[in-house]
Structure 1
Amino acid sequence: MSAVLITGATGKQGGSLIKTLVSRKSPLEILAVTRNPQSASAQKLAKLSSNIKLVEGNLDDPATLFQNARKATQSAIWGVFSVQLAIGNTTSEDAQGKALVDEAIKQKVQFFVYSSVDRGGDASYTSPTEIPHFINKHKIEHHLVEKSKDTDMKWFILRPVAFYENLVPGFMGKVFATTYKMALKGKPLQMIATDDIGFFGAEAFTHPEQYQNKSLSLAGDELTYDQFAQIFHQKTGQPIPTTYRFLCSILLWAIKDMGYMFKWFHDVGYKADIAELKKINPELKDFATWLEKDSEFAKHIYITDDTSYNRIPQDIPVSVLCDVFAASAAIRYLGHAGMHEMIAHCMLLELFQLLNPKLKYMRNAYRRPCMWTSEYFPVPKPPRERYQQADAGLISALEEQRAIRAIWQLLLVCEVHTLVGGPSPRWNWPCEEISRLQNMDFEGLWRHALRNNALEQARTMTECSCKQGGSVINAILREDADFQILAVTRDASSSGAQKLKAKSSKIQLVEGNLDRPEEIFSNAAKLTSQPIWGVFSVQVWPYSSFWSYRPPLMLNSGACAWWLQHDAEEKQGKGLVDSALNNNVGHFVYTSADRGGDASIDNPTSIPHFISKHNIEHHLIERAKGTGMTWTILRPTAFLQNMTPDFFGKVFTTCWKIAVKEKPLQVISVTDVGFFGAQAFLLSGEYTNKCLSLAGDELTFAEMEKIFRAKCGRDVPLTFNFVSRILMWMLNEFGYMFQWFYDSGFRADILALKKDRPELHNFKSWLESESGFVTK
């Protein structure tokens, strides 16, 4: 028996080749190359046939790959199937492809099948085009042909066109469809199913004498956008999902490879001979057939609304609920235009400035619809009776902010999973069902969200600042210190506040608003006979408030205090310092951010929220001079808790990879921030008027990735590079921060910190004990 080594085994092309060989009962032993043989996708592949052997390997090191392959089989490695990641891999694709050719020749491989790309039919071999990843494939083709001369290795080059699989439910599919429409301008585009690539690859390995030293361009259909959209509508009963043209224009401009490619589609285009291909494979899939049999659009799972669940939260006025329903109606009416595009549009319009009267998303205080007919969102007005059911009174700023948060949470719950192309684990619906919301009862959507705790999930996505304060409370409680804890919240009846209070009889809830710190101290004084001795202060960074709902809290003990608020960081931070002085607070602990170790005090950086923290630090130090209030400044580095299994975690890890590159990044667990925060109160004399930068580990992305794979048995969750690049571009704060991570970086003294806390978490111990990735 001979063996064939297949790269990209868990991908679309390599996977389709393996499935075709298995279905044909091919006598070839299949050596499936994967980075992680323990991954779910690799294990699922191995179960297809006893003829499949998993081979751990990396295309950057083909020699080791072949060495591992020989350990997995007693057979000679007769054939190789080569495919490399294209867009986003331009720097390594050429090197990987050529190196695999060279190693195959060295290992006496007899038949080499390379999956390239069509560049104009028969003219492909002499047409590199201007598209970077097309150029790479052109170079690899020439390298294969030239290096194989005067050797025993024969070759076959497959040149597929655009994949049908580019049309997927969710963000990427909408981008593909919209770009198809706006860039090709009525010109036809050839497309192919990856299953058919697998068919022709299997044909070559089964009948090598018919295909050796030849090339073949592959396509299954050729359609204009109008034909493409018409077939989609006929088969699915709905319009093809698209997004805003301006968003695609930005992507075509920002991702040059993509921009050049779509321009080439219009100017030149693919030239596969579909009629000839059908002679070889009469079952070659056209678009309609693929849509019916293989596409994600054919796999419908509908939301089951639990109509028996109709408990409406009593602490939210009916008028505010109507606004949430109206937001749901907007989802319904927009339907085919996903909410992530709407969110991006809102960012561009600075809708995040919630008090901007020209762009206010809510209805105004007199219940008149405000934005439903605006030029920004030309959607039909929600049913008028929804407003007639509303109470006629004014709504407070707090109610308005809560309603806005609820709206954003609904949008994020719907769209975060769509953006990354996966179903919501809470709702168990595929991402294409977003486009079916126009057929839903939007009150039902709200009830369903409540029923499944979907809003709670959204509100805990980015609450590192909340976790800092919570970790301080937990650390103080573990020490059983003689402290009374006053927790300040906007709403003492909320589930989050009540859950906090239930932790200990030492905790009392105080209602208040960080914009009015004197009022908070006044309310706190009513609940304790002791003076408020200490304050723990932390403010949230600008962008987290729109998906973080956790109310602000204050801790006071004998007292200690902490709280979180989402807007006007510098004003609130300074205001809290001033009120603490006015109320004779003895010790003030402020959680800031490291800006270069000991140099932090003189280094505001160019990052806006770092600058705010720098200014608050100086205000605290200057105002405390000559008073009885001492202080401690904690400066944590990047939080390990930024690594979560959801979309935001994927954005963080992807930004780390593409922005910080080979540089190390210091990280800290919020549990350790809590420890040092508690120590600053428990041993205040040792921490008086000191600054302490906090980190538990320092590692490059590659080092982090290696540890993650070893402990979790899978790759670090990532999203598309361009998604993270767009976010860093749109959210300047985010972009400046990651640029600073690369240019300067954190400078905490980890060795010194371990002397005070030997249990300081490094990445490995945090991953094992606190993260959501390792199953215990």
Structure 2
Amino acid sequence: MYITWGLEYVGGDACRHPHTHLYTQNMAATKNIVVFGGTGQQGSAFIRALGAYNASAPQYSIYLLSRDPSAGSSKRLESVPGVKVVQVAKNYTDEPVAAFTATGLKKGEVHGAFSMQGYISAEAQLHQGIAIADAAKDYGVKHIIYCSFDLPDHPVSWTEAEAKRKIENHIKESGMGYTILGDTDFMDNWLPTNKYMFKFSRTMVLYHSYSDPKQKHQMISTRDIGRAGAKAIHEPEKYLNKKLRLAGDEQTPADIERIYKEVMGKPIETTYSFVALLMKKTIPMLGQMAEYFDQNDHPIPLEETRAILPDVENLREFLERYKAEQAAKGK
């Protein structure tokens, strides 16, 4: 559950952006999509992928809800075709009705909504996920995209995963059209540019999660999660009222280390093994996550994801793309 996808344009006003005039003329014909959590990895990937459908002709007006429109993460997305950045309150995920109102759209004018909760407690996830779903229904949303996790039919000990299950069920029972994105571990979390906290999760996955060293760890890039969500909006006849199981690769911990070193030229950045083990034993969420990975009895058939995204990235391809992007930036 860890996931930059699609086509991104640079430019801002009508003088620099070749699509601006086109949008001014055709905005009324587009479908309005409101995005919660749009500056995060999954949300930004969804926006870029959905915006790519606007390249030839306007199809979607994408309302990016942002606490700070002047922030770099918001400004970068503002250049994606069809994106409108909407300033909202800091607690907008707890008060989603006010967030919908801030777009200036009326009830019945919102075609779709994207809902993603960040790294917060299970209780906060449950509150926000249900509140956003209820607000979306009240606003007349026809298709909600919810970022969840791949879950078995039976309960698991991972509290955060069970919170997502409750949100899924609430959405299914709401009467709205939906697509649920059931992802696996994010490939992005293995990158050296990712947050320091992921050193602990990387160390735990490599050395303290699997009792069988031959067991494979499933992963997906956040770019591909976003692409799947955008495709669900664009092709509802295929993906409405379904949960999409998303995994681009599966490798043993040893093979993850090998592939990473072959592509990146250096080992994965981890922390002290004993520190990760201590955290696993003392922080319930980490221990539950490790147990979930170890006891996974429902791996995603990779061909199931390829049926949705034929060009889904495997780990090697993901790392090669990242390395090329860094080189292009002079890093």
Q: TM-score surpassing 0.5?
A: yes
What's the TM-score, normalizing by structure 2?
Answer: 0.78
Structure 2 residue aligned with 1:539: 117
User: What is the distance in 2 between the residues matched to 1:771 and 1:660?
Assistant: 28
Structure with the greater alpha carbon radius of gyration: 1
Amino acid paired to 2:115: S
CA contact (8 A) 1:464 1:641 kept: no
- Note if 1:508 corresponds to 2:85: yes
Asked if 1 retains the 8 angstrom alpha-carbon contact of 2:178 and 2:240, the reply is: yes
Give the match for residue 484 of structure 1: 61
Partners of 1:465 and 1:540 within 8 A in 2: no
1:764 aligns with 2:316: yes
2:196 corresponds to 1:640: no
CA deviations on 1:719-767 (whole Å, 9 max, x unpaired) are 2111111222332111210121012266222112213322110010001
Partners of 1:749 and 1:765 in 2: how far apart?
19
Q: Which of 598, 621, 624 matches 2:172?
A: 621
The residue matched to 2:149 in structure 1 has which SS?
Answer: coil
Distance 1:659 1:649 in 2: 14
C-alpha distance in structure 2 between counterparts of 1:464 and 1:696, whole Å: 22
* Partner residue, 2:133: 577
| AA matched with 2:50 | I
3-state DSSP of counterpart to 2:85: strand
What's 1:523 paired with?
102
Mapped to 2, the partners of 1:530 and 1:502 lie a distance apart of 27
1:539 partner letter? Q
Query: How many angstroms apart in 1 are the aligned matches of 2:300 and 2:38?
Result: 19
Aligned to 2:11: none
Contact map agreement 1:464 1:670 (CA 8 A) in 2: no
The change in CA–CA distance for 1:568 and 1:537 in structure 2 (over 3 A counts) is same
Compared with structure 1, are the counterparts of its residues 649 and 773 closer, same or farther at alpha carbon in structure 2 (3 Å cutoff)? farther
Query: Match of 1:693, as an amino acid?
Result: R
Residues 721 and 506 of structure 1: is their aligned pair in 2 closer, same or farther, counting only changes over 3 Å?
Answer: closer
CA RMSD of aligned residues (A): 2.6
Residue 604 of structure 1: CA displacement?
A: 3.6
Change (3 A) 1:709 1:645: same
| Greater fraction helix | 1
Q: Identify which of structures 1 and 2 has the higher relative contact order when contacts are C-alpha pairs closer than 8 Å and 6+ apart.
A: 2
Q: Which amino acid aligns with 1:761?
A: E
Aligned pairs for 1:413-432 (under 5 A) are: none
Q: Structure 1 residues 774 and 466, CA, compared in 2 at 3 Å: closer, same or farther?
A: closer
Say whether 1:664 aligns with 2:216. Answer: yes
Gaps of at least 5 residues in structure 1 are 1-462, 544-565
Question: CA distance change for structure 1 residues 622 and 637 in 2, over 3 Å: closer, same or farther?
Answer: same
What do the CA deviations read for 1:582-604 (whole angstroms, capped 9, x no partner)? Answer: 11111111110012xxxx3x334
Q: Which amino acid aligns with 2:135?
A: S
- Contact 2:38 2:65 survives alignment (8 Å): no
8 Å contact from structure 2 (residues 107, 138) kept in 1: no
Aligned ranges 1:199-598 → 2 under 5 Å: 466-480=40-54, 482-504=59-81, 506-512=83-89, 513-524=92-103, 526=104, 531-542=109-120, 568-595=124-151
Residue 158 (structure 2) aligns with = 607
The 5-angstrom pairing of residues 30-49 of structure 1 reads none
Compute the TM-score of the two structures, normalised by the length of structure 1. Answer: 0.34
User: 1:559-593: per-residue Cα shift (whole Å, max 9, x none)?
Assistant: xxxxxxx9711011111111111111111111100
CA distance in 2, matches of 1:771, 1:616: 36
* Aligned residues of 1:489 and 1:509 also touching (Cα < 8 A): yes
Q: CA deviation at 1:718?
A: 2.5
Q: How far apart, in 2, do the equivalents of 1:576 and 1:665 lie?
A: 31
CA gap 1:686/1:723 in 2 versus in 1, 3 angstroms = same
Question: What secondary structure sits across from 1:568 in the alignment?
Answer: helix
In the TM superposition, what whole-angstrom CA distance separates every residue of 1:116-160 from its partner, at most 9, and x where no partner exists?
xxxxxxxxxxxxxxxxxxxxxxxxxxxxxxxxxxxxxxxxxxxxx
What is the SS of the residue equivalent to 1:770?
Answer: helix
State the aligned residue count: 282
Q: What amino acid is aligned across from residue 618 of structure 1 in structure 2? A: N
- How big is the shift at 1:523? 1.7
CA distance in 2, matches of 1:464, 1:520: 13
State the identity as a percent: 27
Contact 2:62 2:82 in 1 (8 A): no
Structure 2 CA distance for partners of 1:771 and 1:611, relative to 1, 3 Å: farther
Q: Deviations along 1:84-114, whole A, 9 cap, x unmatched?
A: xxxxxxxxxxxxxxxxxxxxxxxxxxxxxxx
Distance 1:531 1:649, change over 3 A: same
Report if the CA contact (8 A) 2:146-2:179 is conserved.
Answer: yes
Q: Distance in 2 between matches of 1:707 and 1:722?
A: 24
Shift of 1:530: 7.6
Pair 1:698-2:247 in alignment: no
